[in-house]
Amino acid sequence: MLSGRRVLAAVLSALCVSGAVVPVAAAEPSTGDYPVVRGVVRDNVDKPHSPVSGEARYAGDQPRAAAAADYVRGIDVAKFQHGTPINWTQVAGSGIRFVGVKASEGDYYTNPYFAGDQEGAQAAGMYAFAYHFGTPNDTDGVTQADYFVDRAGYSPDGKTLNPVLDVEHNPYLQYADRCYDKTAPELVTWIRDFMTEVKRRLGVTPTLYTTPFFWSECVGNSTAFASYPLWIAHHDIAAPSVPSAWAGNWTMWQYSDTTTVPGISGDVDGDYVSGGEAMLDSLATKAGGYTATSPVRVLDTRDGNGPLGPGGVVTVDLSGQLPAGATSAVLNVTGSATSSTVVTVWPTGRPRPLSSNLNLAAGDVRSNLVTVQVGADRKVSLYNNTGSTHLVADLAGYYATNATGLFNARSPERVLDTRSGSAVGPGGTITLTMPASVPSTATAVTLNLTGVGATTGTYVVAWPTGQTRPNASNLNLANGNPTPNLVTVKLGTNRSVDLYNNTGSVHLVADLAGYYAPDTGAKFVALPPTRLLDTRNGGVSWLPVPGGGQAIALSMADTLPTNATGVVLNVTGVAPTTDTFVAVYPKTATTPSRPVASNLNLVAGQIVPNLVTVGVGSANDVWLFNNAGTINLVADLAGYFAP
């Protein structure tokens, strides 16, 4: 590849000196005529990467890379690999598990083999993904991101890894210097604009491909993209040099550009993913429909294993309850703590996130609904931070790529409030029939269920009408303080659910957040927990609400795809100065209105989380309302709904 470029450069140089007009043939006739863009022959379009980055292979006398036990093999290809047709069945049979395919370059080239290569690789049982070769001196980052997205045909189908930006040394040195005639801050801006636009359009986090030499020379070793997965190219070396922003960690490593693979003639780029199949699977975003189940207990540390101590982790194997195509599980998790602590639930085999699902004070018995991604092994882990904590988990349902339950988000609607009549007594059951806004085709509903004024410690169970009450719970109430929890429950006879109170008496309030149906609605895309809001860090604007209270707007325009219809957020209220309630609802106007429902109920000084499922406004935004006093709010994104 380098020799062809030197020939072309020499010819161009001669033209400039002599002034002669001489037709220049393509460097490699087998690829056909190259496009000429802004006066430059774009003879790199058919190559996987820039030959100027060939220095990535020169590592002195270092030994070549050897695959570690948890490395998964992959390759990346472009039109250059199509001297003869690729046999994807043979490629897969050789142990290759993933394939990157060049989809586009700049704003002027689309690989004609892209769609066929991606489909062929996936049909052979491999993961595949699209990457874009960026040329920052041609057009801005947003323009090239849109060009890429419009051609990449991305789908969160569980077989397609998240898209990639390839940014490396300029292959067209007759047009600009190695760094595209841009300063490091200018390149940081261009890359940020590209990555942000892809994330805005698709709702997934793209991966960044680069070389250590380009990142040092041209981007000034910027740390601005440390939150993005890194695909590092460093060839023929025992271990790659990784820019400091990623603290020595890489997600993908292109270790060679001279790999041979059965089914492809000639050399291809060889790649690794570190972390085994679990890590590879986590790079494939999955959209799933919902299947509601009758609640089933899948964990109870009171059964003899003992509570989790400080830093303790317990793993729950859900492979017996979830199908192979499951993307995430919906669990009602209850903690009983001896001291203040936090509990985190996440997919086994992946790094534990910095977010939390339960916040418990000493002596608390509290529940919170958790929607958690699952990998191919369908296992989840639960972590206790301090003290000792018993944990109970009840499976309420799951999302899967082939499930038919589609979610229909609604503005919160109050459908039950027993305070207008009689409380539910000890051992009492009431039946809640859904309003006409829930169609006859609905299979399940999502309710924010609140217990108010419990006369003694008790628990509340929600289950489909007409079925046997399960050994599970949805609300755990220690006293008379209002206590909410999100409940996703299968509908029973006459589109109804039953609500049971164990001891004492308690008032129940239910707000409808949405319903699932097979004929209309959106699929759920589970994401690694992402912190979107923490007012403890400042920088937020509270707006007064007519009738009392105040609200802040949470925009997710750069986080969700443009077609998102709803989100799942874990919202935590932190230390209100007085008793209050918090509500989350779609932002449908420039000024907030007073809500008709609530998601969190807190007494002064409490720290309480609750899962929230809510529709979004036209700009992918919601209001978060606080009724009284001041409060800090934390919001972690668990996923979103999109058609």
- The residues that are catalytic are 76, 166, 168
Report how far apart, in Å, the C-alpha atoms of 505 and of each of 453, 457, 482, 502 are. Answer: 8, 10, 13, 8
**Beta carbons of 329 and 372 less than 8 angstroms apart:** yes
CA distances from 217 to 209, 214, 220, 254 (A): 15, 5, 6, 19
- The answer to whether residues 618 and 589 touch, using CB atoms and an 8 Å cutoff, is no
Per DSSP, 185 falls in state H
Q: Which of 541, 624, 611 is nearest to 580 (CA)?
A: 624
Residues sharing a CB contact under 8 Å with residue 179, sequence separation 6 or more, in sequence order: 169, 170, 187, 214, 217, 218
Whether 626 and 533 have beta carbons less than 8 Å apart is answered as no
Please compute Rg for the chain using Cα positions: 28
- Which residue, 350, 182, 324, 317, is CA-closest to 251? 350
CB 233 within 8 A of CB 56: yes
What are 144's two structure tokens? 């090239």
Show the tokens assigned to 520: 């209309």
In the numeric block, the tokens 């217990």 are attached to 451
The residue written with tokens 């750069």 in the block is 558
Strands 326-337 and 429-433: unpaired
Residues in the chain: 643
Do residues 98 and 273 make contact, with C-beta atoms less than 8 angstroms apart? Answer: yes
Nearest-angstrom CA–CA distance, 108 and 199: 22
Distance of CA 548 to the CA centre of its chain: 36
| Coil, helix or strand at residue 245 | helix
Q: What strands lie across the sheet with 483-490, from one edge to the other?
A: 406-417, 507-517, 444-452, 483-490
The secondary element (H helix, E strand) that includes residue 123 is: helix 114-123
Strand partners of residue 164: 131, 207
Given a contact cutoff of 8 angstroms between Cβ atoms, the answer to whether 446 and 513 are in contact is: yes
What six digits make up the tokens of 630? 């001041």
Q: Which of 604, 612, 549, 539 is nearest to 574 (CA)?
A: 604
Report the alpha-carbon distance of residue 582 to residue 580 in Å, rounded: 7
Q: How far apart are CA 449 and CA 511, in angstroms?
A: 7
235: exposed, middle or buried (Cβ count in 10 Å: 0-12, 13-18, 19+): buried
- Answer yes or no: are the C-beta atoms of 126 and 91 closer than 8 Å: yes
Beta-bridge partner residues of 585: 623
How far apart CA 342 and CA 266 sit, in angstroms, is 54
Q: Can you tell me the distance from the alpha carbon of 160 to that of 238, in angstroms, rounded to the nearest whole number?
A: 29
CA atoms within 13 A on the CB side of 220: 11
Structure tokens at 594: 């007073």
